[in-house]
Amino acid sequence: MRCIADTAPGPTVSVLPDSRPPVTLRGFLPSDVPFVASIVAEALKEHYDPSLYGSLSHEWPDGFLVAAESHDVPTGFLLGVSQVEREARILMFAVERHQRAQGIGALLMAAFLDRCRVRSFHRVTLEVRVSNATAIRFYTRNQFSVVDLLRAYYSDGENGYQMARELP
């Protein structure tokens, strides 16, 4: 994938894969809710009240990044919040199943980390199921390390890892 525009300070980033339709990174829009909810249901097996996305986006609009394909349809997103001073936490992160392993997740993560640096955050944390080897590998490649084991963290009783990375 090739970046044809830079992230900050503009609101969008257009990305042109060599042989695929362009993917655009942009902020969350209220009209994204059904698409984001569908990705969450499929990828994360969770169902949230639709109003949750808007209210979380309101708290830190730049922390909610959407990757959209042609016709501006969301194909992946990363939703970060900041609940601890100078720290971000990745609450939700998923790419539509058929669009994975094309670099969209890496683009979302890189843009998110840039936005954290703009806010002078020094640390980013997240939680992941211990069984989610694909995501753990992705995060490790993006310089996150396991910092804690969260016993029975998920509603079905599965343990989680807390992972974190420092920001230079």
Radius of gyration of the chain (CA): 15
Which residue in 32, 27, 31, 28 sits closest to 9, CA to CA? 27
Based on the shown chain and the rule CB under 6 A, indicate whether residue 33 belongs to the binding site for ligand COA: no
User: How far out from the chain centre does Cα 91 lie?
Assistant: 8
Alpha-carbon gap, residue 110 to 117, rounded angstroms: 11
The only residue of 106, 130, 146, 150 in contact with ligand COA, by rule CB under 6 A: 106
Candidates 6-14, 50-58, 116-124, 135-143 — which segment interacts with ligand COA by CB under 6 A? 135-143
Contacts (Cβ under 8 Å, ≥6 apart) of 62: 27, 115, 118, 119
Give the residue with the Cβ less far from ligand COA, 98 or 120: 98
Site for ligand COA in 62-91 (CB under 6 A): none
Based on the shown chain and the rule CB under 6 A, indicate whether residue 141 belongs to the binding site for ligand COA: yes
Alpha-carbon gap, residue 163 to 70, rounded angstroms: 33
Give the residue with the Cβ less far from ligand COA, 120 or 151: 151
Smallest gap from Cβ 154 to ligand COA, in A, equals 11
Supply 5's token pair: 């525009």
Give the interface with ligand COA as residue ranges (CB under 6 A): 43-44, 93-95, 100-106, 128, 132, 134-135, 137-138, 141
